[in-house]
Amino acid sequence: MKWKATLLMAILVFAVIASGCIGSTQETKTETSKVTLTGDFTKDVIEIGKILQQNGINEVKFAAWGSGDPNSVMRVYGIVDAAYKINKIWEQNGIKVKITVTTKYDQSFKDQYQEFLSKQPLGQAGDFFVNSYAFLPTLAEEGYILDITEYAKAYQNVIDDFYPNLLEAAKYKGKLYGLPQDTEARPLYVRKDVAKCAGLDVTTLPEDVKSGEFTWSDVYYWAKKAKEKGCAEWGLIHRKGSAHPDLIQFIFAFNGKLYDPSTGKLVLDVPAVYKWLYVEWKFAQDGLLPKDIMSWDWAKQIHPTIVEGRTLFDIGGTWYWTEWQTKQYYHGRGLKPEEVKEWFAYTLFPAGEKGDKPVTLSQPFIWMINSKAGQLNPKYEELKDVYHALAFLMIVKASDSEINAIHSVISAHLPVRKEAAKLIKDENWLNKLKNLDLDLAPEVKDNIKDIVEKTVNPINAKFLADVSYMLEYTHLAPAHPKYPALADIFKEAVDKVLRGEMTPEEAVKFIEDKIKADKELADNVEIKGEIPKEWEFPRGD
């Protein structure tokens, strides 16, 4: 019996040991699939690299999706450079893991948003998605992008360097869903030689606009005069496509609203929208603005018309300033910085009429992370938190002040970080950028060298400094899930009044009917006010 007791004891001891071993294995497994960010970038990157290595991962594949004007390619190469910097840290610390990034850059940010919407549920969308803040609420509501609120708490020192109003654009229902990538203003450009021909003094124009003395009635007056005197083919050229965000400046310029924070609903401000459509209709019917502008080609019609001096005014964006220097819009070549400076004046978007205020509009772009980021990598379900934390650190690195400053200078967008704004004013740093004497990924240098060569210039840095004040007058379109649908209706209405298919009154009725026909939209839009009676444009006072 003694041997039986000994055997039983041995079995029990083995069972206890085995149980302990199994428990230990599970505990280790849990520890190696989780990461807690500390706020020390290098330390966090090393910790993540070790976890990946321990799990047999030697390559992490990500895809970065971005879109916009041709000079804004740092929207994807910022992510490429982040991978390069993280790979360096891992290499220096003997961690045999490497991040590789594929990029997809499209011209239309709206088309890419639609593609992201359709492909995210299928697991085919990019891991990183930089796009307008206007789409963020819908993506957050659908669960398509990552809530980075908790990650960001460890990097509060970085978060605090962003301009607060831009940071708000990256939030939805109090949660942080991304980091600001850039912003801009939308000046009214004035061709100086055409203005001189028409008799318009542009030297005092910015101050006259700022004071509200120069309104859209004055824009009409000088556009008509320029055309009648044969100074230009057109009085005004503006952007096309969705009425968001450029043309809705008219609503704010006529003291209208698009959103009611007390109800959380969008607003169809009938008086302001009517005045906007009337201005569009009047310009087009009097031959000052092309009736088919909403279908013009960007590269073949819109930009050449502006840079060749065939219009007096243009509603554009700050990024035009350098885009004109890098694209072959002017008789088959780009403009020199000296030519852009000599040929164009710029002001705020004028007040609708006396008593209103000038405006501009910003549309911050946001670094967003797919809620399935890293899904194509090995052991995704097991290491999901690690891949997500790594993706967060990549947008932190892509938001470095130097990356943000490079993007601002070469694309004429405004910096989103205070430290980036300082760099732009640093002549020594500008010289380093001019020579690409900066620690950037070789792939990034290769892809921006032509843009850098043409755009890094004190003239362009001064332009950014000159237009920065416009952010004091800026408005944001509502970050509301139904706003894109409303903007599409605006676009249809603008096209119809420009072509003369509808009067401004009929177009307002068209907008109201379209809203009411869509129950979900009708539940989210308040229709306020009436078409003003006896209102005239231009007023001439």
Q: Predicted confidence band at 15 (pLDDT cuts at 50, 70, 90)?
A: very low
Q: Predicted confidence band at 25 (pLDDT cuts at 50, 70, 90)?
A: very low
Of 126, 63, 56, the C-alpha closest to 99 is 63
Which residue segment(s) compose the domain that 283 sits in? 188-361+474-528
pLDDT in tens, 112-137: 999 999 999 999 999 999 999 989 99
In this prediction, residue 1 carries a pLDDT of 43
Read off the pLDDT of each residue in 77-90 and give the average, rounded to a whole number.
98
Read off the pLDDT of each residue in 271-284 and give the average, rounded to a whole number.
98
- From CA 209, how far away is CA 357, in angstroms rounded? 9
Is the residue at 201 inside a domain? yes
Strands (E), 349-488: 360-362, 365-369, 474-476
CATH number, position 413? 3.40.190.10
Is the residue at 132 inside a domain? yes
pLDDT in tens, 504-523: 999 999 999 999 999 999 99
In this prediction, residue 37 carries a pLDDT of 97
- From CA 33, how far away is CA 24, in angstroms rounded? 15
Q: Is residue 466 pLDDT above 90, yes or no?
A: no
Measured from the Cβ of residue 358, the count of other Cβ atoms closer than 10 Å reads 25
Is the residue at 534 inside a domain? no
Domain boundary residue, one of 430, 456, 482: 456
Q: Is residue 32 pLDDT above 90, yes or no?
A: no
Assess whether 192 and 306 both reside in one domain.
yes
Poorest-confidence range of 22-26, 198-202, 322-326? 22-26
Assess whether 177 and 47 both reside in one domain.
yes
Assess whether 235 and 357 both reside in one domain.
yes
pLDDT in tens, 193-245: 999 999 999 999 999 999 999 999 999 999 999 999 999 999 999 988 665 67
Distance of CA 124 to the CA centre of its chain: 22
Assess whether 179 and 205 both reside in one domain.
no
Q: Is residue 450 pLDDT above 70, yes or no?
A: yes
Distance of CA 74 to the CA centre of its chain: 12
Is the residue at 29 inside a domain? no
Q: Indicate the number of domains in the chain.
A: 2
Q: What is the dihedral of CA 270, 273, 279, 281, to 10 degrees?
A: -90
Report the mean per-residue pLDDT for the chain. Answer: 92
pTM over 0.85: no
Looking at the chain, the whole-number percentage of residues with pLDDT higher than 90 is 82
